[in-house]
């Protein structure tokens, strides 16, 4: 016999994991999420999701479903990179699903911009890896999952215009499985540091 406690726990888990879509939250909830974005999140992620510090990711124009999935992972404490532990576990803890969706809705509708252009040689090398991979070292082309122009392909995030420092930090997290995503672990393991920097420099240079 299935105990009432197990049934209750399973029901609660299913409710917690249910995806709330933007069209399911009302105008007031969206406005409340926008106030959080402007009043709290902007401290690290900047106005309209354009972070000043390269330590923190650009959120402007990011795919909404990806943002929701990451906020859920922070709240569930299943995303384990250092900044997740240091910042986002605590920030996401009180957020409801509706607030997460409202925040994602807000940031996904902000206009992305290109980041600073770095060394042209690095950009050329990074573009080659992004578009064609590095077959000799078993690195697949990034475009296959992140799309032309690195604008993202659900469920994979937009990378265009992202800070080099942040991208490098995430690639290292994938390498050491602090972010436990099998596909990216396999890719990052095969990338030399110089190639990581090249890809990140190329991605930072991309605009809308």
CATH of 120-205, one of 1.10.645.10, 1.10.760.10, 3.40.190.10, 1.20.140.10: 1.10.760.10
Please say if the pLDDT value at position 156 is more than 90: yes
Fold of 16-108: Cytochrome Bc1 Complex; Chain D, domain 2 (1.10.760)
pLDDT range class, residue 25, cuts 50, 70, 90:
confident
Is 152 within 8 Å of 144 (Cβ atoms)?
no
pLDDT digits (tens, 9 = 90+) for 26-82: 899 899 999 999 999 999 999 999 999 999 999 999 999 999 999 999 999 999 999
pLDDT of 2: 41
Does the fold of domain 120-205 match that of domain 16-108? yes
Question: Strand, helix or coil at 1?
Answer: coil
Q: Where are the domains of the chain?
A: 16-108, 120-205
Spatial distance between the Cα atoms of 13 and 98, rounded to a whole number of angstroms = 16
Please say if the pLDDT value at position 103 is more than 50: yes
Q: Which residues touch 66 (CB under 8 Å, ≥6 apart)? A: 152, 154, 155, 156, 157, 158
């Amino acid at each position: 016999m299935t105990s009432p406690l197990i049934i209750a726990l399973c029901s609660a888990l299913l409710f917690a994991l249910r995806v709330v879509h933007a069209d399911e939250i009302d105008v007031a909830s969206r406005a409340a999420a926008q106030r959080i974005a402007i009043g709290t999140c902007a401290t690290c992620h900047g106005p309209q999701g354009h972070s000043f510090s390269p330590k923190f990711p650009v959120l402007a124009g990011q795919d909404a479903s990806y943002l929701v999935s990451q906020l859920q992972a922070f709240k569930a404490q299943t995303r384990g990179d250092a900044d997740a532990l240091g910042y986002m576990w605590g920030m996401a803890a009180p957020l409801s699903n509706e607030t997460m969706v409202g925040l994602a809705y807000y940031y996904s509708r902000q206009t992305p911009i290109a980041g600073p252009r770095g060394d042209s040689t690095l950009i050329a090398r990074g573009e080659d890896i992004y578009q064609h991979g590095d077959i000799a070292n078993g690195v697949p082309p990034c475009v296959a999952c992140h799309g032309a122009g690195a604008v993202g392909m659900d469920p994979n995030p937009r990378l265009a215009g992202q800070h080099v420092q942040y991208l490098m930090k995430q690639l290292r997290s994938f390498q050491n499985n602090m972010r436990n995503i099998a596909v990216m672990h396999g890719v990052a393991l095969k990338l030399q540091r110089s190639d990581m920097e090249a890809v990140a420099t190329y991605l930072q240079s991309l605009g809308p």
